Amino acid sequence: MSQYDIVIIGSGLGGLESAYILCKEGFKVLVLEKNRQLGGSLQIFVRDKAIFDTGIHYIGGLDEGQNLNQSFKYFDIMDKLHLHKMDMDGFDHISFDGDPIEYKHAQGYDNFVEQLSQQFPKEREVLKNYIKQIQEVCDYFPLYQLKSDDAPILGTKYLDVNARDFIANITTNTKLQNVLAGSNPLYAGDGSKTPLYVHALVVNTYIESSYKCVDGGAQIERLLTKNIKAMGGEIRNYAEVTKIVEKDGIITHVELKDGERIEGKNFISNIHPASTMNILESTKIKKAYSNRLQGLENSTSAFIVDIVLKPNTFEYRNNNYYHFKRNDVWSSMNFTGNSWPDIYCMFVPKSSRSDKYADSMTVLSYMKYDELKEWENTFATIPKQRDSRGQKYEEFKIKRAERLIDEVQKKIPNIRNVIKSYTVSTPLTYRDYIGARDGGLYGIAKDYRDPLRTFISPTTKIPNLFFTGQNLNMHGVLGVTVGAIRTCGVFVGQNYLIEKINKA
């Protein structure tokens, strides 16, 4: 048996950042990962020599003086990352069927107003008001600004404001409403429930600055892993935790799939809280608490076509595309069956091999987990468990992939001529490889109608069991980083930790 100060379950970004912070503070830390690859949504994969990200398609807030830049300095990775800045005048392009205009989200708030004012000349003052209010919302979340926060999150303003209604009250121009919310696949925006703060915190970080990771986001995992090990931390893959065991009110050890027991003083779960409850053996946790976590709705999942492009046939595009078939960006996740897809997002990775041409592209559309129900009892995670989902599943993937490519072809008429091959991922892929329950893209779905229910505390009823990761406050690189700060603040003091980060 091994004895550790901290045992972390899951090597996603939140787990690795928590490991780094606690190693730096002198704790003996072990990270356990069930899969071969570390990093959760930081993982990449290669097809026909082209690199694909599983989750990190672009990152915001990385300019000097911005929040994620400062955090990455603390983690000692900022100056080692290979980054490429996206188009200043339009890092995101929003488009709609029947409308030839591509509406641009620009970097920098003044530039954001300027670019959209060219397309909505009568709405300049509206746009100024919009960015003013977005920044005001962000100011109510000091942790995201790396400022000391003594106030409880539950008392924060704007938790119970609906994002769609807020934007509708900003302008009566329905096209502008949809353009302002046009990147909402970044947070699985649902008009009936998504809170304003989710929209504001996400768009703010990309408007501040937007970057692509050259050759993929796995470099973040590699750098963090190297730094953790250099400080004496341990990281193990192929180490699936199947039991978290409590005795006399505290967690004494975890048990791995092969029967190995690992002891520790404290345990941090970077996997979904509901999944944590599933493997927790404890009489300390009340059924009501467990049922609450089990009953929380997850954000929607996705169907993804990762396309390898023929060499030197498709010029690199320094922006992302969000295309909608209708002039309503808030309900696209509800389309299934023959009416699918209602939306697609297109991301073109930046390769170090060429500045002119792209190696690949990723096309993503929402997909509900229920569409894959007949195959949900098949699994493909690590070599020890790789079930065949059968021919019918393969036919489903091809049929939907071709339908999605048909939609892209309307925008890029020669797309089929430049495709060398493609690979398909479904909600089951997300469930198995990323460890996202129901294949949910962004963890627990936030709901402005009951905001307190979807905030998860880093502490639990068991004094040495903690949570971190995208299910605490927010998803995304910045949201998960803030979550790691919250979790580790329990051990070392949150304001102390923020001060250290700001001095990095």
pLDDT tens digits along 435-450:
777 888 888 889 999 8
CA angle 323, 327, 331 (to 5 degrees): 80
Give the number of C-alpha atoms closer than 13 A to the C-alpha of residue 333, restricted to the C-beta side. Answer: 23
Pairing of strands 343-347, 360-367: antiparallel
Spatial contact of 308 and 47, defined as CB atoms under 8 Å apart: yes
CA angle 113, 189, 411 (to 5 degrees): 70
Interacting residues of 264 by C-beta distance below 8 A, sequence separation 6+: 3, 4, 5, 6, 7, 30, 251, 253, 254
What's the N-to-C CA distance of the chain in angstroms?
A: 36
State residue 263's pLDDT score: 96
User: Closest Cα to residue 185, out of 365, 352, 16, 11?
Assistant: 365
SS3 of 224, please?
helix
Spatial contact of 95 and 321, defined as CB atoms under 8 Å apart: yes
Q: In order of start, what are the domains of the chain with their CATH numbers? A: 3-47+57-67+217-296+448-502 (3.50.50.60)
* Tokens found for residue 8: 């972390």
State residue 158's pLDDT score: 84
* Tokens found for residue 316: 């690199």
State residue 388's pLDDT score: 78
- Report, as ranges of residue numbers, the positions in the chain whose pLDDT lies below 70: 1-2, 149-156, 381-387
pTM of the model: 0.94
Pairing of strands 320-324, 92-96: parallel
